[in-house]
Amino acid sequence: MSDKKTFNPALYLVTDRDLSLGRSLDWVVEKAVKGGTTVVQLREKKLDTKAFIEEASHIKKILKSYDVPLLINDRVDVALAVGADGVHLGQKDMPYEMARRIMGKETIIGLSVESYEQAKEAGKLDLDYIAISPVYTTPTKEELTEELGLEGVRRITEICRHPSVGIGSIKAHNAGEVIQAGADGVAVVSGICSADDPEHAAKELRQAVDKARMHNA
């Protein structure tokens, strides 16, 4: 298990098999990590529990050799079953306090934040990070029709003390401005999963993030 004290949210990959152009998820993940991805969230909405556990175990083995943490989206049971480094929770998932009690203090737990009110509430919790969603509207989150924009990122990072990643239609050309607006990293789905070369896409994103983070320092 990765050390949560060294958790680096700079480039956060959220997997999506439907956007991976028919390529295997393990191939996409490994290419992304080689390109500079610092954390991987395994998101599966359609797999049954057994298949999800098998896939998570396989991805975990790949990531272990790169010392990149594996987070499981929503499913605390799957995260526990495979010994994942943590979980990512949505606003309608298991309450944070309950997940923390089950997962333990050493586990990474993040929470999606979609409004200023949610950001204020998140600030009261002992989270490891928040995901600001969506910075820009995105087909991968059809239920979220109103984007927060860069001003939303600024306001949320001002009122919530936790490390943050911005998510929503982020590519190499706009990743830097999300960091300059206050986020610590960017979370990407299609920008890596649907890229012709996921490794190159991740490399460009990571360079943009690192450049902006140096500018902010």
Cβ count near 109 (within 10 Å)? 23
Query: Buried b vs exposed e over 16-50: b needs ≥16 C-beta within 10 Å?
Result: bbebbeeeebeebbbbbbebbbbbbbbbbeebeee
pLDDT at 3: 75
Tokens for 89? 């929770």
Q: Which one of the listed residues 2, 112, 164, 190 is annotated catalytic?
A: 112
Q: Are 185 and 11 in contact (CB under 8 A)?
A: yes
User: Could you tell me the pLDDT band of residue 216, with boundaries at 50, 70 and 90?
Assistant: confident
Going from the N-terminus, what domains does the chain have, and what CATH number goes with each? Answer: 4-216 (3.20.20.70)
Q: Which one of the listed residues 2, 20, 31, 43 is annotated catalytic?
A: 43
pLDDT at 5: 79
pTM of the model: 0.95
Q: Which one of the listed residues 34, 141, 155, 213 is annotated catalytic?
A: 141
What is d(CA 110, CA 184) in angstroms, rounded to the nearest whole number?
Answer: 13
164 in active site: no
161 in active site: no
**pLDDT tens column, 24-71:** 999 999 999 999 999 999 999 999 999 999 999 999 999 999 999 999
**pLDDT tens column, 101-142:** 999 999 999 999 999 999 999 999 999 999 999 999 866 555
**pLDDT tens column, 168-180:** 999 999 999 999 9
Q: Which residues contact 43 (CB under 8 A, 6 or more apart)?
A: 14, 15, 16, 73, 74
141 in active site: yes
